[in-house]
Copies of this chain bind each other. A is one copy, B any other.
């Protein structure tokens, strides 16, 4: 029994290539005092990982060359020298793209596989879900009767944004790529409308038609020209929540939104956030989201790729959009 690990061995420029990563085999680690060893079941693949591969100042230190690639993961504790955590407990931690991870108490959370499928704690009941919850409600201040537009709407974050907005009494429009995703939004998740940005239809006109009167809250996961188009369709006092910019993460030159003066005309704001700042309120959010899930108001889908050795090709699905819901790797 060995530990297969994915290490970052060079920094990508543009789309990550297979040779930016090494697949290596190590011994299964041993716990020191205050640590647990986790046998991973699922590893999270998130757009933010692309940023962590860059050697630039950001909200978190870059992954260093030669390190195991950073990732959230869920699994079962197989050894514990950490008070409060027992062998057999299921946990979510930041234990990286490998089969066995080591964690201290920090950012280690117990999860219950009887309540939800384990992989869901990397999606709706984990960071992406919390990102949606705090981004929409705290940063976006979405209110009943308002129109919420979300990009990347069929993704791990966007799908939760839209459903929470519906729960809060908003009109919800999602932007996604392709008819299958758009059907999923309106038929399964209860979105009021979905816009297929790949359809060739004029996006500005489609937003105008779907969001009669314009957008109160835009939850942006995509950035680029799409953000610019939406800026032309915001209402007075609109809030644009900058959650991410997946269209730009592999670009050398970031697309700047030339319609930003729409913020002035419309007395609107554009605001960024990082979900980690809300850590003290994760419990409250988790409880509320669990209740919504039980009540059938908050649905989830995970796209599971088998085999840690498929990390690189799985990762690329984040950027191509070739997945539905939360993308995870089965360790």
Contact = CB atoms under 8 A, between A and B. Distances in A.
B272 A269 contact: yes
Contacts of A268: 271-272
A264 to B, nearest CB: 3
Contacts of A258: 253-256
A263 B267 contact: no
Q: How many copies does the complex hold?
A: 2
A265 B256 contact: no
B254 A223 contact: no
B277 A272 contact: no
B267 A269 contact: no
Contacts of A271: 263, 267-270
Interface in A237-269: 242-245, 248, 253-269
A270 B264 CA distance: 10
A134 to B, nearest CB: 11
A256 B262 CA distance: 12
Nearest to A59: B265
Contacts of A59: 264-266
Nearest to A223: B261
Most central of A59, A258, A262 by chain B CB within 10 Å: A258
Interface residues of A, number: 33
A202 interface: no
Given A223-B261, A261-B242, A261-B245, A256 B273 contact: no
Interface string A151-164: 00000000000000
Given A228-B256, A256-B255, A269-B269, A261 B248 contact: yes
Contacts of A259: 254, 256
Nearest to A245: B261
Contact of A272 (B243, B255, B265, B272): B265
Contact of A264 (B255, B263, B269, B273): B273
Contacts of A265: 57-59, 272, 274
A264 B254 contact: no
A277 B269 contact: no
Residue of A255, A264, A274 contacting most chain B CB atoms (<10 Å) = A264
Contacts of A257: 256-257, 260
A263 B256 contact: no
Contacts of A269: 269-272
Interface string A267-301: 11111111001000000000000000000000000
Interface of A: 57-59, 223, 228, 242-245, 248, 253-274, 277
Q: Top 6 A-B pairs ranked by shortest CB distance?
A: A256-B256, A264-B272, A256-B258, A263-B272, A269-B271, A254-B258
